[in-house]
């Protein structure tokens, strides 16, 4: 194989697919290598019998309808920079094709303290909830909102600032601070119990000011749209998409060929096959890429991982529930002392004191939700903070036993949340549980890390290496929308620039 590609992209998750499509749009010769037989990475899907499961997707952040962009400008001055719309524009995916269904509302539930805050895709609801529960803090919260609206998040080289410390300058009630932080940490912090202030602002805007939605067909809708765009771009330049996106190709080594004038990269696969490229974009993670380079200079393995328990129930448990019939996601915390512990549990395999509980059926218009509720089945998903070491060290027997125990705990939590009575108890038709060990197996992320390293390579450069860039979670944009944006940004910056 003598071809020298313009770009080799490693990993066909969201960021790798986006980087590849953009590079193809610049007429570059691109090769996308994926170690598995399907695309999507942390956000893929699978089938159990006749049922289809999403691996990662609870919800997309950054909801914005293009029609509302101007209307909403005053609420969020950064609305015109909405990341989801930018991603769709750059990848030339029509908004309608995403078939997004909005959340009705979500809830932060500090069970131990008996305090809840409900929020939706309209910030007014959260403002009124805070006004009702924390009347002394409402003016402070409005000031925080103003600060977030005016914050410029385009300085890549800003040093880390503790968001908890910064927010405490506005809000004095520690319970409110913890409650505001809970969804933002759970959906995108690679730091334990805190988050960088720039990242906090991005997450705040994408969750509280823009909000949640979900494509009708789940993550398949997104992946199929991306694959179809990749195919179209290949067709435009007479390429076969099967040559561009190659599955079952695990990269095991990256080496720079210093003998060549342009210092080409040699990308070696597990099979022994070698490809050459001028630019490499790696989406597999910071530490994982250092391993390919055999570089032992750093230890930047991300700490935060989760278990995910998925239950299919024989009925819609929310439908007639007085408190939760409109709830799409619950950010549940039962720690005492008005605290939410966002860290890798140290002495247990799973921290059962907190969870993200997602009801995927509860997105969309009221009539769609009623229609779904009347069809028999519903799904509930639980993400809980977990420790990779426990799960990877269990014997096979203990591993299965611990998963069974987790299932029992999950049922108890579900009963607590929906206050199910035994008279008319739901039945679990199917369940599945995956652990940090599963996340490692299917994504290659060391320690099953979901949010990557604490150090983010915001300009994508993995110095001192030239023409090697990191895209995805470790570049600093998190979640599905963030990863897509990251792939686009890195391709625009380094592949397009190359062309000029
Ligand atoms: C349980 C769970 C729930 C989540 N829920 C949400 C949610 O509701 N909303 C949201 O926005 N985000 C969610 N996320 C996060 C989201 O999935 C990720 O942020 C995003 O998918 C990361 O995309 P990526 O492209 O950066 O990386 P990845 O998805 O990790 O892609 C990397 C790809 O590289 C491949 N790869 C790895 N090593 C190699 C190698 N050596 N050679 C070749 N290929 C390789 C992997 O197989 C993978 O396909 C969730 C994640 C999890 C795990």
Check residue 1 and give its pLDDT: 56
40 Cα to the center of ligand 1, angstroms: 7
314 Cα to the center of ligand 1, angstroms: 30
Which residue has the CA at smallest separation from atom 2 of ligand 1?
56
Question: Following DSSP, what letter does each residue of 232-294 receive, concatenated?
Answer: HHHHHTT--HHHHEESS--EEEEEEETTSTT-EEEEEETTS-EEEEEEEEE-S-HHHHHHHTT
**Whole-number Å distance between alpha carbons of 327 and 68:** 23
Q: Which of 227, 388, 456, 479 to mutate to test the pocket of ligand 1 (most atoms within 8 A of CB)?
A: 479
The percent of residues in the chain predicted with pLDDT above 90, rounded, is 77
Check residue 78 and give its pLDDT: 52
452 CB neighbour count, 10 Å cutoff: 27
Check residue 500 and give its pLDDT: 47
What are the residue ranges of CATH 3.50.50.60 in the chain?
Answer: 4-37+247-301+452-499
443 lines ligand 1 (CB under 6 A): yes
The runs of H, that is alpha helices, within 280-395 are: 286-292, 366-374, 388-393
Check residue 70 and give its pLDDT: 58
203 lines ligand 1 (CB under 6 A): no
pLDDT per residue over 139-182, tens digit each? 999 999 999 999 987 777 888 999 999 999 999 999 999 999 99
356 lines ligand 1 (CB under 6 A): no
Check residue 80 and give its pLDDT: 59
Question: Following DSSP, what letter does each residue of 205-236 receive, concatenated?
Answer: IIIIII--EEETTTHHHHHHHHHHHHHHHHHH
Q: Under the phi-then-psi rule, with left for phi > 0, alpha for psi from -120 to 50, and beta for the rest, what region is 91?
A: alpha
Q: Is residue 209 pLDDT above 60, yes or no?
A: yes
Token output for 313? 């129930």
Task: Work out the mean pLDDT of the chain and round it to a whole number.
Answer: 92
**Whole-number Å distance between alpha carbons of 204 and 211:** 9
Determine the average pLDDT of the residues in 280-308: 95
449 lines ligand 1 (CB under 6 A): no
229 lines ligand 1 (CB under 6 A): no
The confidence band for 420, taking pLDDT boundaries of 50, 70 and 90, is low
Q: Is the distance from CB of 116 to CB of 175 less than 8 angstroms?
A: no
Q: Which of 36, 56, 307 to mutate to test the pocket of ligand 1 (most atoms within 8 A of CB)?
A: 56
pLDDT per residue over 252-264, tens digit each? 999 997 766 668 9
Q: Which of 188, 274, 301, 480 to mutate to test the pocket of ligand 1 (most atoms within 8 A of CB)?
A: 480
Question: Hey, which CATH number is domain 4-37+247-301+452-499, 3.40.1190.20, 1.20.272.10, 3.50.50.60, 3.40.50.150?
Answer: 3.50.50.60
**Whole-number Å distance between alpha carbons of 445 and 61:** 22
90 Cα to the center of ligand 1, angstroms: 21
Please state the pTM of the whole predicted model.
0.95
Give Cα separations from 485 to 90, 198, 318, 425, 428 (angstroms). 9, 16, 34, 44, 38
């Amino acid at each position: 194989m003598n071809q020298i590609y313009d770009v080799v992209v490693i990993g066909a998750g969201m960021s790798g697919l986006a980087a590849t499509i953009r590079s193809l749009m610049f007429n570059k010769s691109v090769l996308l290598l994926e170690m598995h037989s399907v695309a999507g990475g942390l956000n893929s899907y699978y089938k159990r019998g006749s049922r289809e499961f999403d691996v990662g997707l609870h919800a997309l952040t950054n909801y914005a309808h293009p029609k509302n962009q101007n209307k909403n400008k005053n609420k969020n001055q950064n609305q015109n920079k909405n990341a989801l719309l930018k991603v769709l524009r750059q990848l030339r995916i029509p908004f309608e094709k995403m078939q997004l269904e909005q959340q009705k509302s979500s809830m932060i539930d500090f069970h131990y303290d008996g305090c809840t805050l409900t929020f939706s895709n309209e910030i007014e609801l959260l403002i009124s909830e805070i006004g009702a529960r924390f009347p002394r803090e409402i003016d402070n919260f409005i000031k925080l909102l103003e600060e977030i609206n005016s914050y410029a998040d385009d300085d890549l080289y800003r040093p880390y600032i503790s968001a908890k410390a910064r927010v405490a300058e506005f809000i004095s009630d520690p319970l409110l601070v913890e409650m505001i932080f809970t969804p933002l940490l759970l959906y995108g912090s690679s730091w334990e119990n805190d988050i960088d202030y720039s990242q906090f602002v991005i997450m705040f805007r994408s969750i509280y000011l823009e909000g949640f939605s979900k494509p009708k067909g789940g993550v398949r809708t997104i992946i199929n749209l991306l694959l179809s765009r990749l195919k179209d771009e290949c067709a435009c330049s007479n390429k076969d998409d099967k040559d561009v996106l190659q599955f079952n190709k695990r990269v095991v080594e990256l080496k720079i060929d210093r003998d060549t004038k342009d210092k080409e990269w040699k990308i070696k696969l597990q099979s022994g096959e070698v490809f050459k490229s001028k630019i490499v974009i790696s989406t597999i993670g910071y530490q994982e890429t250092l391993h390919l380079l055999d570089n032992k200079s750093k230890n930047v393995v991300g700490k935060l991982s989760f278990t995910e328990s998925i239950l299919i129930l024989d009925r819609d448990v929310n439908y007639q529930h007085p408190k939760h019939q409109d709830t799409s996601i619950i950010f549940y915390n039962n720690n005492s002392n008005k605290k939410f512990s966002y860290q890798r549990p140290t002495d247990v395999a799973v921290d059962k004191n907190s969870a993200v509980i997602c009801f995927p059926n509860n997105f969309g218009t009221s009539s769609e939700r009623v229609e779904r509720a009347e069809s028999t089945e519903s799904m509930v998903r639980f993400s809980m903070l977990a420790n990779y070491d426990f799960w990877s060290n269990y014997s096979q027997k203990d591993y299965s036993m611990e998963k069974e125990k987790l299932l029992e705990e999950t049922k108890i939590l579900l009963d607590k949340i929906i206050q199910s009575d035994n008279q008319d108890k739901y039945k679990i038709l199917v369940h599945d549980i995956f652990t940090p060990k599963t996340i490692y197996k299917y994504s290659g992320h060391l320690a099953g890390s979901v949010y990557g390293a604490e150090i983010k390579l915001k300009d994508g450069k993995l110095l001192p290496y030239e023409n090697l860039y990191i895209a995805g979670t470790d570049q600093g944009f998190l979640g599905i929308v963030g990863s897509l944006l990251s792939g686009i940004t890195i391709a625009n910056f380094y592949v397009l620039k190359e062309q000029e």
